[in-house]
Chains A and B, each alone.
Chain A
Amino acid sequence: MSETRKWSLHILVIPIIAVLLGMHLALMHYAPVFYGMSVDKAREYSTMIERGKSVAQFVIYILLLIAGLYHGLYGLRGILRELPLTPTMVKVVDLGILLLGLAIFALGTYVTWWTFNAPLGG
């Protein structure tokens, strides 16, 4: 992928993150405003598991995971690549960032999928 496309994607995910993060905030931190539910209740295990069974929430969190990971790791790559690196170190940084992203994505997806399938009551 050309640097232009990588950078464009990095910019493009910003509004996506803003919308999805807004949904996350509404679900988790502004539950009293949007759902008439106390914050403590919104963060209870049973409530979260129940909410996690929603297909919409599953999709929202997977998308937020992808968008947040891409945006954050592209930024991290930019910071690291500004260091005086040899060509070999550049490859190590790029590969390391890719592997780190895949690992976090796998973990995040597993947690979201587990929640989606978890029996009510834990």
Chain B
Amino acid sequence: MTDKKQITFRIRRFDPDTDSIPHWDSYALNVPEGMTVLEALHQIKAEQEPSLAWRSSCRMGVCGSCGMYINNLPMLACQTQVLHLNTDIVTVAPLPNYENIKDLVPNLEPLIEKHAAIKPFIIHTNSKEIDEPTGEFIQTPEERESISQFTHCIKCGLCLAACPTVATDPFFLGPQALAQAYRYTGDNRDNGLHDRLEAIDVFHGPYQCHMAGACSQACPKGVDPAFAIQLLKRTLVLDSIGFGKKKSKVAKVMPLADVVKQIEEFAPPPRTVGN
């Protein structure tokens, strides 16, 4: 049997139906090694406070639902082990920089709206090729590597909670949306920079970043949004003076049937287009 340690959880509570302002409640729990904050919340809800509300889903740091302000830092509750915090009192509050819906539930609508505004999808000049593809777009390992870390974003919103600029300027697009703007404009298959300018080439865009770097520290997936914002600035500036990255209009692989003939000993990946 593993040793347990008694930990007091100070949890910020707020019910819009009954409370005018939030308040703090404390719950004591015997915490074994390995228990996460999310598991602790589940145990508190099961044994002590059935009305406690939060948002979570996968329990494995993939869905990004359980972002919370744990000991005054934005973290995923499912990835944070209680005893690793090394405090006898663990404070849990909803993510800052968001409206508080109830208890530990933030309103993530601004995150989603800003994310949608930058058109987070591949925009290709040849719309016919997008609608009726005749081949697959090429992306070399090097090209993929240049944007790889930015594709790991799980939209948990911790970066916006950590961002001091978002705290003072709610219109700031924020690290998540700006990093995704770079993730797509930096993608060799994308030609959509000019389609995104209306959303990103604005006062509340990348130039409003104060370069605190808190977003990069908060990201649970190791993404560096602060770096992405600098890369996005470079992309925008080079484009504005006519030195934008030239991308091939149609970058397609040769028909896979020909590849099969050339490389007999290796099985090619299954066709995704043309079947």
Residues in chain A within 8 A of chain B (CB atoms): 2-5, 7-8, 78, 81-82, 84
Contacts and interface: CB of A to CB of B under 8 A. Distances in A.
Interface string B195-214: 00100011101011000000
Contacts, number: 29
A1 to B, nearest CB: 10
Nearest to A12: B237
B118 interface: no
A7 B207 CA distance: 7
B168 A4 contact: no
Contacts of A81: 203
Interface residues of B toward A: which range? 10 to 19
Contact of A5 (B169, B170, B240): B240
B104 interface: no
Contacts of A84: 170
26 contacts: A2-B197, A2-B201, A2-B240, A3-B201, A3-B203, A3-B205, A3-B207, A4-B201, A4-B207, A4-B233, A4-B237, A4-B239, A4-B240, A5-B240, A7-B207, A7-B233, A7-B237, A8-B237, A8-B240, A8-B241, A78-B208, A81-B203, A82-B165, A82-B168, A82-B208, A84-B170
Interface in B228-275: 233, 236-237, 239-241
Contacts of B201: 2-4
Would you list the 9 A-B pairs with minimal beta carbon distance, nearest first? Answer: A7-B207, A4-B236, A4-B240, A82-B169, A2-B201, A8-B237, A4-B201, A3-B201, A3-B202
Contacts of A5: 240
Nearest to A90: B203
Given A3-B207, A82-B208, 15 more contacts: A2-B197, A2-B201, A2-B240, A3-B203, A4-B201, A4-B207, A4-B233, A4-B236, A7-B233, A8-B237, A8-B240, A78-B208, A82-B168, A82-B169, A84-B170
B209 to A, nearest CB: 11
A117 B165 CA distance: 49
A3 B206 CA distance: 10
